[in-house]
Amino acid sequence: MSEITPSQTVGPFFAYGLTPVGRCEWDPNGTYSWKNSVESNLVTPDTSGTRIRVVGKALGADARAEALAAEVDAKLKAAENRTAALKERKRVLFVLSLAGGKVLASGSGTAADGMIRLAGGVNAVEGYEGYKQLSDEAIVTARPDVVLVMDHAGPGVSEADLFANPAIAQTPAGTVHRLVRMDGGYLLGFGPRAADAVNDLAAALYGGQSTH
């Protein structure tokens, strides 16, 4: 059984509150997957406010934190409403890494999954929580319209390598090379700027179809 270290495949994990569990094992079907997947806090529209309140309490600034959290929560709800009327939702595949030519993608319960949903998209991957390296069949079945990746967060995912992947190339996103890049901390931080990140992602996904 082969093993790879977190630094080889999930360098950005620790920066975004994701904790790999156990070791990465080689599956007989030819894929790597984290044993027990990854632990991550379920991300909801209230995540930013909750984090702000926790930090405020630790700093003895509860009142200021509550005011900021309420403001951020309101902005997030408004950002989510921008795409509420859309009838056709983009299927989005969030790719964290292409280590070894394998696509490490977000399932449910991650910051990426939360951001996709808030921006009016649909996570193209179903059936597991956290992050997992996908088989070629799983990628083709996911049928993403858009691939979402991070910038400035560890080893990047190059456009050339991404669309050279045979499975990605067979998807709607691969056919037209539809790629969205966003700064990792901005996209997944779920801090005071979370609503702005949602708005920017919605604009990248839908352009003029989303409404202010």
- Strands of 66-130, DSSP E: 91-97, 103-106, 122-123
| pLDDT of the residue at 125 | 96
| pLDDT of the residue at 15 | 37
3-state secondary structure of 92: strand
Residues 188 and 152: their CA atoms lie apart, in Å, by 12
| pLDDT of the residue at 53 | 81
Chain segment 181-208, per-residue pLDDT in tens: 999 989 988 888 889 999 999 999 998 7
Q: Extract the residue ranges of the chain whose pLDDT is less than 70.
A: 1-48, 153-155, 209-212
Q: Quote the pTM value.
A: 0.75
| pLDDT of the residue at 191 | 80
3-state secondary structure of 198: helix
| pLDDT of the residue at 71 | 85
| pLDDT of the residue at 75 | 86
| pLDDT of the residue at 45 | 57
Cα distance between the two ends of the chain = 52
Work out the burial of residue 102: count CB atoms within 10 Å of its CB; fewer than 13 is exposed, 13-18 middle, 19 or more buried. buried
In the chain, the amino acid numbered 111 is A
- Please report where in the chains the tokens 């193209």 appear, as a residue: 124
3-state secondary structure of 137: helix
